[in-house]
Amino acid sequence: MARLGRRPGAVRVEVWLASAVGGIAVIGNLTTAVQILTGRFLYYFGSGDPRLPLVQLPQLLQADVRPGHTYTVADLAPGLRVLCASPSVVAAGTIAVAVVLLAGVLNRIAAGRAFDPPVRRRVALLSVVLIGGGLLQGLLDTAAIAAIAASVDRVAIEGIGTNLPSWPWTLIVVGVVVWALGAAFAEGARLKEDVAGVV
């Protein structure tokens, strides 16, 4: 019986692409998180103000500071900054773990071990990471929006507009698809064992 496999060169390209795209997403999310936690831009030029304006929070659409006042992300309580940064941290962690798991699955498929138990375990874990990470990110963003709306200094801020909670539905749906794929891998393993028993 022919073993299911992929050309090693093609798999290396797929793993490299997944790692590159995932790495860019991780760096972007971690950059956002660090800026929120420190209240400062990581990169600014010349005499530019390094302080991160409140409106730069992913949870806000609008934050109008009253004349004569200053109010930036650094003026928020540390705990609130942590809460606002947490969706970006969760997104970065979810993507990083997902890329590692995906690379392991692709490498084992390329080696002709598509239906082996380690592959099925990694596929199952990948679905849990994607769904769980997506749900956690949405919950944290919802909590951050509520906390900002309740605690922003109204003396300094005259108008504030919040984004809708950011629920990464694409990530969650992909997790569900991967879960279904894991069921297909389990069935393929069962059929492989049945055929081996007949032979």
Give the C-alpha separation, 180 to 164, whole Å: 30
Average pLDDT of 58-80? 92
Q: Which amino acid is at 29?
A: N
pLDDT, tens only, 97-112: 999 999 988 888 777 7
Specify the range with the lowest mean pLDDT, choosing from 66-75, 152-161, 165-174.
152-161
Which distant-in-sequence residues (6+ apart) come within 8 Å of 132 by Cβ?
Answer: 175
Closest CA to 88 of 20, 31, 132, 139: 31
Residue corresponding to tokens 């800026």: 35
Is residue 12 situated within a structural domain? yes
Give the C-alpha separation, 176 to 121, whole Å: 15
Q: Which amino acid is at 70?
A: T
Q: What is the mean pLDDT of the chain?
A: 86
Is residue 1 situated within a structural domain? no
Q: How many domains does the chain have?
A: 1
pLDDT for 9? 67
Is residue 188 situated within a structural domain? yes
Average pLDDT of 73-100? 96
Give the C-alpha separation, 25 to 41, whole Å: 18
Domain holding 24, by residue range, is 8-198
pLDDT, tens only, 1-24: 444 445 566 678 888 898 999 999
Contact 4, 109 (CB under 8 A): yes
Is residue 2 situated within a structural domain? no
Is residue 34 situated within a structural domain? yes
